Structures are given as C-alpha cells and as structure tokens.
Chains A and B, each alone.
Chain A
C-alpha cells in the first residue's frame, strides 16, 4: 500500500502543488507576524475546489514551508518569523553578523528537511502509541509542563538569572491580560475594551524582538549584515551544510525526539519545541558557554525540532481528531468537510489518502531544500544590498502589517510599539526578550492547568493534592527539579573532577 501510494504522489499536479505550497509557506513564514495558521486559513477556500488529497497535500506543504521560512527572518534580522524559530535567532543572527549568513541558511535548510522527514516517519510508524501518550496530559500535567518550561529561563537569560526571571514574570503578567481562560472574567483591561482579547503572543513576539533590532540599526546607522564583507563561496555550500548537520547525529536525534514529544501535547507546538531543543543541545554540549556566539549545533537543534512538529503534531489529529498545534485545527476543518473522520479508519478505509498525505509531507520537506536555498539566497541578497535607511522602514512596514493582520486590529499595532519600546529599554538593562515571550507562552498553559486541576479536585479535602496524583505528574516534577538544579549539579561535578584530576589522587580504573 505504501509503495502504491508513493507512486500516486508522482503526479505532476501534486508535485506542483507541493512546490507551490512550500514556496507560499516560505514567503508567509519569513514575514514576522504572518503565521502558519493564518496562511492555512487563507488557503482554505481554494482547497474546497480540489480533490481531498490535493487539498491536504497543498496545506501540508504550506505548513511545512511556513515553519521553515520563519528561520530566514531569525537569521537575517534577528527576528523570529514565526514563534517556532525564536531560538534560531540566538545562533543564526550571530552567524550572520560574522558574515556566515548563507552558511546559517544552508544549515537551517538541511536541518529543517531532516526534521520534516523525521516528523513524517514518526507519524507513519508510531501514531497509535504516541496518540495514547498524548491523552495522558491532563490539567495537572499541563501545569507541570509549564513549570518545567519555565526552568528554561535560566539558560535563555543572557547573564543574570534574576533579570531573566523578572522577564518571565512580566511575560506571565502580560499573558493574564484579558478574559480569563477558565473563569471567563476580564482582568487588567484598564477600561480598554480591546484588551478583553488580551495581548496575542505574536504581537508581543514581534514587538519585543523586532523593535529593539530596528532601534539598534537606526542608532548605529548601519545594519548588522552590511557591516561585514562576505565571501559568498565560503562554507555556504549545500554539501558542506549536509556534512555539518550529519556530523552531529546525537543532537539531531535528540532534537527530533523532543520535537515529537512536544508536538503530541495538544496546544504546544514548534513555539515550545524549538526552545526546549535549544536548551537541551546547550546542556549536552561540551562547550555550553559558546552558545549564543553562532554555533551550528544550536541552529540545527532548533530548526530540526520545529519541523518535526509539523507532521508530528498530526499524530493526535489523524488518530484522535485532536489538533496537536494551532495550525492543525485548520487541517481538521478541511478533513471534516471532506467527510474524513479522524480515527483508525482513516488509516484503513481511506488509507491511500492518509498515507498519501503523510508521504507528501516528507516530499514537502525535501522540496524545501531547492526552494529554500534559492529563496534564502534571494532574500539574503535583498537584505544585504538594501541600504539601512530603507531596511528600517521596510522591516517596520512588514512588522506593522504582520501585527495588524493577526486579528485586523489597529490597537494591536500600538500595543506592539509600546511593548517593543519597553523591551528595548529592558534589553539594554539586561532583561532579554526571550524570557518575556516564554513567560507569555507558558503563563497561559500554567494558569489553565492550575485552575482546572483545582476544579477537578473539588471533592478532595485539599484540592491542590490533585497536582501530585498521577505518575506522569511526578515524572514531570522530577524533571523540573533536575532541570532547575542542573547548573549546580554541573558545578559540583566540575569541582569533583578538579579534585580527581589533582595529582594526589591516584586511582586505578
């Protein structure tokens, strides 16, 4: 069946829709503010006229391309194009500043393709067990996932951990503005009706990452890229990138597994996966102190993990009908319209269609390589050649449009400017934007998890005990403790090693 299905995909129309979908996704993803969800929603009506397989293939390709396209903006202008490439900027932008932008793009391309294919393989072979695992995440587990995620702040805050934690708390406070997810009442609206809807994560993300960069370029009167001479042949080649990426199999495998686990948790997607993968790559590295200076390891970790989530988040979608990440909700809508009910019968009765869709995502991942290398070079040249005084207003324009497009709101644009300007000042003081955004993402998950847990424990004498009830909760708590204590354990280990290394000790092993 797989073989037949594969042959079915080598239809010119399908191949063309894959390439077109990836290109369109790449363009949307590269513009900060335009997310994969939005791209899919816009494309939706077109797919109604297509046969189900063609429609799903096109949507899958757009999704794949959009998540990958986010890395361009991250590498070239230090601005994650989508929330899935926040950590890509940590290594990609320093590389670009050193004149290694093309190398970074090639690495991101290869890593994304590997991640995309890995996600499709997970989906193809491991769906049923992974789907059951995803169901075990209830409110208490969500709460602990969020707490575990917050321990990332220690490694995301450059320099002072206390400032990073302050940023995280600020992010969580910003995240609570608007209608309470559980209680339904409004908080912190200060009499402004629009604030009922809260501050969308994208708006904060754009403001906090893009504006400081623009202000920096304006102050210095030159863009970071134009500062260095680039030898275009140096290390930018595709084969070189392939070699580099595959020279770190441990990192690749780890990042793909992290991507897959985050992907199957409903509600968490590439936005969390890339940060976790980055953090783990740093933790496992022999030279963690070099992270942040343009290390390929970090880049490969983030870009492979976030593309795993594309196909990976469809595990609960196809088997249970539960979207693993926001863009999947749109794909679920399409499937419902074509009368495709998620469940095991999707793999048996409509097997050709389902397997075709899964395999097409692997093809889309492969298609990213030529499309991305070409498109990446083009975008790079444009940004490189554009004088800084055009670059600043143009990026500002894209930013404003992206923010506005989130929900067609002018107020959001004002919010973005206010947050971005505040973020610029805070960044100067050592409070990095990444912990703020992380707080914003995780604050909501933590709040929902906590309040729902307490509600679920109403019949208990102490409702909060429900937080510690399940074995999965306990595993997550152990991981949290370990993660928080890691830097201290590391220091301890080094001290012991230093003692071991001292000449007095003579051990026979």
Chain B
C-alpha cells in the first residue's frame, strides 16, 4: 500500500514538472469584476444582473457587478482602457454605436474603438419609430407625408446625441428626404412620458419601448432585418422600402492583450448564459446575438461602415 502511495506521488510530481507552469493557475481563481458604464436600472444593468448567477455557475467564481456611469459610458471606457489589467478579472459592458461614435466625434473621449478585446456581442435592440396611441400617425407613410409637408415641425425624441437613436433619425431623414427636428433625451426612460404627454411627435427609440408600453404607444416600424418576435404586427423599415437597419448592440469586452484562452473561456460562459436568459429577454423585445471572436470584430467593422457616412457628415459640420 505504501509503495502504491509513493508511486502515486511520483506520478503526480512527474506530471507537475512536465507541465508548463501557467496551466496550474487555472483561470479563473478569484472573483471577476464586471463593470457597467451606465446607471443602475438601465437595460445594461438589468441584463448584467440576469447574467450574473449563470456566469457564476459556469465560471465557478463570484462575478461582481459595479457601476461607473457618466459621459454616456465614456468615463468608464476611458478608465478601463487606461488602467484595467489584461488578466481576465476585469471586464466591461460595451455598446455599439457608442464606442464607434464617441471617439470619432468628441475631442477627448479618452478611449478608442479598437482598444477593447471584445469577448462577445450578446444582444441587439433594434431601433423603432414609436408614437403615442392617440397620435394621428397610423403608419410610417402618414408620418413621412406629414413631415414632408411640414419641415422641421415634426419633433423626434431619442436617447442621446450621436447615439444609435440619433444616427437612425438622421438616416431616416436622408432616406425619406424629410426634415425632422431631433430632440435628444438623457436616456430611454424620459422618452416615454414625453411621448405619452405629447411633448414630442414621435420617438426613434428601441423596440423594447414599443413592447413594454403597448397599451399607450404604437410602433410604426422597426429597423431590423426581420420582424421582431415580440412585435409581430409591426413592419420593418426594409419592408416599407427604406434600407434602414440599426440599433444598439450590447456586449462585453476585456482589456486588449488578455490571453486568448481566457477570452475563450469567458465567451463560452457568456454564450451559455445567453441561451438560458434568452426566453426572458426575447419576450421583452431583445434580439439575441452570439457574435464572438472574429465575428465580433466583423460586426464592429460592419456597423462602422453603416454609420460612417452620417458620422462623417456631422464631423464636417462641426468644423
């Protein structure tokens, strides 16, 4: 028996020496910090809270969510790129088009679009043109006809400036040849009372708004490739003849230079989590995506190209 024990130890030692060092420190071995660059209670936060228990199960360590709101996300993103260690223990929520638009338009955003190692884009919330239930606009056509006849009189609310909502409104103006007045708001939250109270004529916002406030709001069109499952009766812009597809992608990123095996492990955990929380999120109007690795990078490129014209025009105007 003793002999056998000794033999066993021998094997263990031999294996230990033969193996390259780092493998022993199996990632992850301590809690992971998951930074949300927005306020508590927003979509990014709620999604992260949904993910948290499942991520902990798949990774085997606690995942701590912390908030660092400010500057439309830029405060957290710039600090992340400056200070986060590429060891996989600090990850951050990322949004398109925010990380594309801000560095291009702001003088000192403090971070770059390519300065992240994207782990995964896990869902997409298409833009949607929403009006109040008692609005005279019953269809997108009503809306466009009226806007043609009354330039600048139609006010379209949206969340933020140079945001997904804003850029989409600009694209709609171009595609339909109309002149709208875009009124930025400080988030999706304030859009809802503004619509219900008739303070704006319409809103270019996210599809969830149309889903969650069905009783009082009407969605005229959504900017996705296919109809959104939670809004089966609402046409897409494409169906109506306007080539407008866009919205916000939410995802998660690690610092540049994070070792690939760690990124893969995180991507796996997020993918599995996404499958589990899908049924809850799809019902709320989200479209789940599973873009990891090269696919995630390609998505950034594709969206950069899609918004490029509009963004460049804004930049020209600024100068």
Residue positions of A touching B, CB distance < 8 A? 37-38, 40-41, 44-45, 48, 134-139, 178-186, 189, 191, 193-194, 196-198, 200, 266-267, 316, 320-323, 326, 329-333, 336-337, 339, 341-344, 407-409, 448, 452, 455-456, 458-459
A124 and B283 CA atoms in complex are apart in Å by: 29
Q: Nearest Cβ in chain A — how far from B137, in angstroms?
A: 16
- Contact between chains at B283 and A339 (CB < 8 Å): yes
Q: B278 near A: Cβ within 8 Å?
A: no
Q: How many Å from the CB of A158 to the closest CB on chain B?
A: 33
Q: For B161, what are the chain A residues with a Cβ–Cβ distance below 8 Å?
A: 180, 182-185
Q: Which residue of A lies closest to B277 (CB)?
A: A337
Q: How far is the CA of A458 from the CA of B78 in the complex (A)?
A: 35
User: CB of B222 within 8 A of chain A?
Assistant: no
User: 1/0 per position for B34-48, CB-CB distance to A under 8 A?
Assistant: 010001111001100
- A267, B108: Cα distance in complex, Å: 29
* In-complex Cβ contact of A456 among B45, B53, B155 (8 A): B155
B46 with A452: CB separation less than 8 A = no
Chain B residues near A (Cβ < 8 Å)? 35, 39-42, 45-46, 49-50, 52-53, 65-72, 74-76, 78-79, 105-110, 150-153, 155, 160-163, 166, 181-186, 189-190, 192-194, 196-200, 212-213, 215-216, 280, 283-284
Which residue of B is nearest A179, CB measured? Answer: B71
B71 contact from A38, A197, A452, Cβ within 8 A: A197
Asked if residues A179 and B74 are in contact (CB atoms below 8 Å), the reply is: yes
In the assembled complex, the Cα of A458 lies from the Cα of B201 at a distance in Å of: 13
Q: In the assembly, what is the distance between CA of A267 and CA of B76, in Å?
A: 23
Which of A182, A321, A326, A459 lies in contact with B213, CB distance below 8 A? Answer: A321
- Are B192 and A459 closer than 8 Å at their CB atoms? no
B317 to chain A, nearest CB (A): 12
Contact assessment for B49 and A197 in the assembled complex, using a CB-CB cutoff below 8 Å: no
A321→B155 CA distance, assembly (Å): 22
Besides A134-B193, A320-B216, 6 other A-B contacts (C-beta < 8 A): A183-B161, A185-B161, A189-B108, A322-B193, A342-B212, A409-B68
Minimum C-beta distance from A139 to chain B (A):
6
A-B contact pairs, 13 of them (CB 8 A): A179-B74, A186-B71, A186-B108, A196-B71, A196-B78, A266-B189, A267-B190, A322-B192, A330-B40, A333-B49, A409-B79, A458-B152, A459-B181
Given contacts A336-B284, A456-B183, A459-B150, contact A196 B70 (CB under 8 A): yes
Query: Would you call B75 and A41 a contact (CB within 8 A)?
Result: no
CA distance A48 to B283 in the complex (A): 17
Q: With CB as the reference atom, state the residue of chain B lying closest to A44.
A: B49
- Chain A proximity of B199: nearest CB distance (Å): 3
Which residues of B lie under 8 Å from residue A329 when comparing CB positions? 39-42, 189
B186, A333: Cβ atoms closer than 8 Å? no
Given A181-B186, A459-B152, do A194 and B284 touch, yes or no (CB 8 Å)? no
Q: Are B196 and A408 in contact (CB under 8 A)?
A: no
Q: Which residues of B lie under 8 Å from residue A316 when comparing CB positions?
A: 193
Contact B184 A184 (CB under 8 A): yes
A184-B162 contact, Cβ under 8 Å, with A189-B108, A194-B79, A459-B150: yes
CB-based nearest A residue for B78: A193
A44, B52: Cα distance in complex, Å? 11
**Whole-angstrom distance between the alpha carbons of A45 and B50 in the complex?**
8
How far, in angstroms, from A26 to B72 measured CA to CA in the complex?
31
- The listed residue with most B CB atoms (<10 A of its CB), out of A134, A344, A458, is A458
For the complex of A and B, 10 pairs with smallest distance between CB atoms: A197-B70, A184-B161, A329-B41, A193-B110, A138-B199, A41-B40, A196-B71, A135-B197, A459-B153, A197-B75
Which residues of chain A have C-beta atoms less than 8 A from B76's C-beta?
A: 407
The chain B residue sitting closest to A38, CB to CB, is B40
What's the nearest-Cβ distance from chain B to residue A41, in Å? 3
Closest Cβ–Cβ distance, residue B258 to chain A (whole Å)? 20
Q: For A458, what are the chain B residues with a Cβ–Cβ distance below 8 Å?
A: 152-153, 155, 181
For B39, the closest partner residue in chain A by CB is: A329
Residue contact B190 to A266, C-beta cutoff 8 Å: yes
**A178 adjacent to B199 (CB under 8 Å):** no
In the assembled complex, the CB of B65 is this many whole angstroms from the nearest CB of chain A, namely 8
Give Cα distance in the complex from A326 to B186, angstroms: 13
* Contact residues in B for A183 (Cβ distance below 8 Å): 161, 184
- Which chain A positions have C-beta within 8 A of B35? 408
- B46-A197 in contact (CB<8A): no
Residues of B within 8 A of A343 (CB): 213, 215-216
Q: Contact at A337–B280, with CB atoms within 8 Å?
A: yes
Identify the closest chain B residue to A316 (Cβ): B193
Among the listed A200, A321, A323, which residue makes an inter-chain contact with B212, where contact means beta carbons less than 8 Å apart? A321
User: When the two chains form their complex, are residues A456 and B181 in contact, meaning their CB atoms are under 8 A apart?
Assistant: yes
- Assuming the contacts A191-B108, A330-B41, A456-B183, asked whether A409 and B216 have C-beta atoms less than 8 A apart, the reply is no
Q: What CA separation (Å) do A354 and B259 show in the bound complex?
A: 49
A40 smallest CB distance to B (angstroms): 7
A137→B75 contact, CB < 8 A: no
- In whole Å, how far is B109's beta carbon from the nearest beta carbon of chain A? 7
How far in angstroms is the closest Cβ of chain A from B253? 17
Partner of B192, one of A185, A200, A320, A331: A320
Q: Are B193 and A185 in contact (CB under 8 A)?
A: no
Minimum CB distance partner of A345 in chain B: B215
